[in-house]
C-alpha cells in the first residue's frame, strides 16, 4: 500500500512510518514541523505543510496514488489544552474537517484516526472496552471525541471508511532507534522519569490521592513499537474490518494497568539507579486513568501487544545518546 502519514515527522508518526516500511508498504509524509523533526524523514517522500491546506492535499493526491491515510497530526499536551482550548479545537477538529473534505474529493476513502483512551469515562475498576461510556475530561480529550463523532457521521454520508485507534499510553521508542521522543522537555511520565534520572533531579508523581491501589494514576503503558504494529495490522485488515460497518473503533493497549509509582519502581530496577521521588498535586486535566481489557483488536485485526513496559523503558534509555547525537539534546 501507499500510505500518507500526517504528522509523520513526529514521535508516533515516524514510528508508524518505519513499521509500515518494514512491512513492505510505501509511505508519504505530510508534516508542518511544529513539533516534528526533519531528521526522522530519511529518504521518505515529504510534503511540508498543514493538513488544512486543501490545495496541498489536492497536489499530494494528484502526485501519489494514496491507498490510505494515517492521521497523526494533532496537538496532544493535556495541560496546554486546558490553557489554550481554542488552539486545540482549531488544530485537532477544524483542520481535520478540511483534511477529510479534501481526501473525499480526491477519492481517498481509507482513514486511520489517532484517537485516545482519554475519551473514556472514569471507571471504578479502571477497565474499559470499546463499548464503555465516554466522558472526555479535558479539551484535548474532547477534541478527539468530537472528531470521532464527525468521522462516524461522515462515513454514513460518504464513501469514507474509518478505523479509530484509541491509543492508551505510548512509551519507549523504535527498537532500531531510527526515531523516538523528539521533544526536549516532553510532559508524559516516562520522559519526566528520564529527565530526572539524567539530571539527578527529583521526579514528581503528580497526583497521589486517586482511588487506585497506591494512590497514583493508573495507565495502560504500551510500547510505541506495538502501537506502530497496530497501525500496520489495521491497514492490512482495513477492508475486512470495514466491510459491514464503515466506522469502527479499536482500543490499542496491553490489557495491563500499571501505576505511576510502579513505573517509577520499574525504572529504578532497569536503570540500576535510585530516584529522588516527591509527590505533588495532579495537573489540570489529569484523570485517574483506565486500561483496556478488550480483545477486539486481536479478534478483528489479529494484533495484540507483545512488548512490556520494562522493554519500553530499556529502549527509551537506549534512545537518549542517539537523540543527543541526532538532535543535539
Catalytic residue set: 140
Torsion of CA 227, 233, 234, 238, to 10 degrees: 180
Report d(CA 72, CA 36) in Å as an integer. 11
Q: Which has the closest alpha carbon to 77: 93, 94, 92? A: 92
DSSP readout, 75-100? Answer: ---HHHHHH-HHHHHIIIIIHHHHHH
Radius of gyration of the chain (CA): 19
Instruction: Compute CA distances 231 → 44, 97, 139, 165, 242, whole Å.
Output: 18, 22, 25, 8, 15
At what angle are helices 224-236 and 11-22 packed, to 10 degrees? 60
Please provide residue 183's backbone torsions phi and psi, each rounded to the nearest 5 degrees.
-75, 140
Joined together, the cell numbers standing for residue 6 give 500526517
Q: Are 90 and 146 in contact (CB under 8 A)?
A: no
Q: Which residues pair with 279 in a beta bridge?
A: 205
Please provide residue 266's backbone torsions phi and psi, each rounded to the nearest 5 degrees.
-65, -40
Report d(CA 123, CA 270) in Å as an integer. 31
Amino acid at each position: 500500500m501507499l500510505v500518507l502519514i500526517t504528522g509523520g515527522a513526529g514521535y508516533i508518526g515516524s514510528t508508524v512510518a518505519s513499521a509500515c516500511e518494514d512491512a513492505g508498504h510505501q509511505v508519504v509524509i505530510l508534516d508542518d514541523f511544529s513539533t516534528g523533526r526533519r531528521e526522522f524523514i530519511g529518504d521518505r517522500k515529504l510534503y511540508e505543510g498543514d493538513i488544512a491546506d486543501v490545495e496541498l492535499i489536492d497536489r499530494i493526491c494528484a502526485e501519489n496514488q494514496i491507498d490510505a491515510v494515517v492521521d497523526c497530526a494533532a496537538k496532544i499536551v493535556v495541560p496546554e489544552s486546558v490553557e489554550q482550548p481554542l488552539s486545540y479545537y482549531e488544530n485537532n477538529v477544524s483542520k481535520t474537517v478540511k483534511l477529510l473534505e479534501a481526501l473525499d474529493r480526491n477519492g481517498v476513502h481509507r482513514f486511520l484516526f489517532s484517537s485516545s483512551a482519554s475519551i473514556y469515562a472514569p471507571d471504578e475498576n479502571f477497565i474499559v472496552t470499546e463499548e464503555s461510556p465516554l466522558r472526555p475530561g479535558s479539551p484535548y480529550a474532547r477534541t478527539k471525541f468530537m472528531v470521532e463523532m464527525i468521522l462516524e457521521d461522515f462515513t454514513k454520508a460518504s464513501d469514507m471508511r474509518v478505523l479509530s485507534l484509541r491509543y492508551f499510553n505510548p512509551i519507549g521508542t523504535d527498537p532500531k532507534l531510527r526515531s523516538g521522543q523528539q521533544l526536549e522537555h516532553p510532559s508524559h511520565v516516562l520522559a519526566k522519569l528520564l529527565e530526572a534520572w539524567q539530571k539527578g533531579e527529583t521526579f514528581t508523581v503528580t497526583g497521589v490521592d486517586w482511588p487506585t491501589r497506591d494512590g497514583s494514576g493508573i495507565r495502560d503503558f504500551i510500547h510505541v513499537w506495538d502501537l506502530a504494529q497496530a497501525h500496520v495490522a489495521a491497514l492490512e485488515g482495513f477492508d475486512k474490518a470495514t466491510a459491514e460497518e464503515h466506522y469502527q473503533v479499536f482500543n490499542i493497549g496491553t490489557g495491563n494497568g500499571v501505576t505511576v509509582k510502579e513505573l517509577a519502581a520499574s525504572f529504578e530496577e532497569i536503570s540500576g539507579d535510585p530516584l529522588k521521588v516527591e509527590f505533588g498535586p495532579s495537573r489540570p486535566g489529569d484523570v485517574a486513568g483506565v486500561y483496556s481489557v478488550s480483545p477486539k483488536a486481536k479478534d478483528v485485526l489479529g494484533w495484540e501487544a507483545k512488548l512490556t513496559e520494562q522493554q519500553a523503558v530499556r529502549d527509551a534509555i537506549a534512545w537518549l545518546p542517539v537523540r543527543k547525537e541526532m538532535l543535539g539534546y
